[in-house]
Amino acid sequence: MLEGDNGSRVSLVVNPSSQDSWVYDGYIESGDVMPNLYRVLANTPGLLNAWAAFAWPLREIDSSPRAVRELAITYLAIRRSSEYVRVHHRRFARQHGVASELFLELDQWRQADAFNEQQRAALQLVDDIVDEGAASAGTMAECVRIFGEDGAVQLVVTVGFYEAVCVINRSLAIPLES
């Protein structure tokens, strides 16, 4: 079953029982609300399954702090004008210990004293990717120095993945959950 006019450019699937998706089954079993992003991806259940199989482990690996990754995702969402991603990941950032004051200073993070070395490296990575399409050698060297090679790779993959999430959300005009 598909939901009618919701502002999205494609339908939001609302009847998980008709879908061939382990992701839907997990949400039904847990009683949690399915995010609209997933409801849009459920138009192609195999894609939704593949998406979650890649995206969910990005949250759990710990080569770089989750709070730093969530701050970087929130900043990326601001830079890419993706309200959907910004709202969700600001909440995740807060849940993982990012102080509310930092969000007020994101637009001037270079001049603000509130950001630590890890946060600055991650925010510079976002700026490089948004402005140049890739991280510079200097930014990567700084990320490797601070987070190690595994953490630097994790940050690049996370920011790159959420770059795609922003494009998908804006292209499909996925509405925030009410």
Q: Which amino acid is at 68?
A: V
Q: What pLDDT score was predicted for residue 136?
A: 98
* Per-residue pLDDT tens digits for 25-59: 777 678 788 899 988 988 888 888 899 999 988 88
Confidence of residue 16 (pLDDT cuts 50, 70, 90): low
- Please name the residues in contact with 114: beta carbons below 8 A apart, sequence gap of 6 or more: 99, 101, 102, 105
**pTM for the whole thing?**
0.90
Q: Residue 178 domain-assigned?
A: no
Token digits of residue 157 = 């993959």
Q: Length of the chain in residues, anyone?
A: 178
6 within some domain: no
Same domain, 140 and 160: yes
Decide if 117 is inside a domain. Answer: yes
The reply to whether 93 and 138 lie within a common domain is yes
Domains held by the chain: number: 2
Same structural domain for residues 49 and 95? no
Domain of 28 in residue numbering reads as 16-60
pLDDT digits (tens, 9 = 90+) for 116-171: 999 999 999 999 999 999 999 999 999 999 999 999 999 999 999 999 999 999 99
Judgement on whether residues 75 and 49 belong to the same structural domain of the protein: no
Which CATH number does the domain housing residue 168 bear? 1.20.1290.10
Q: From CA 3, how far away is CA 64, in angstroms rounded?
A: 38
Residues 94 and 161 in one domain: yes
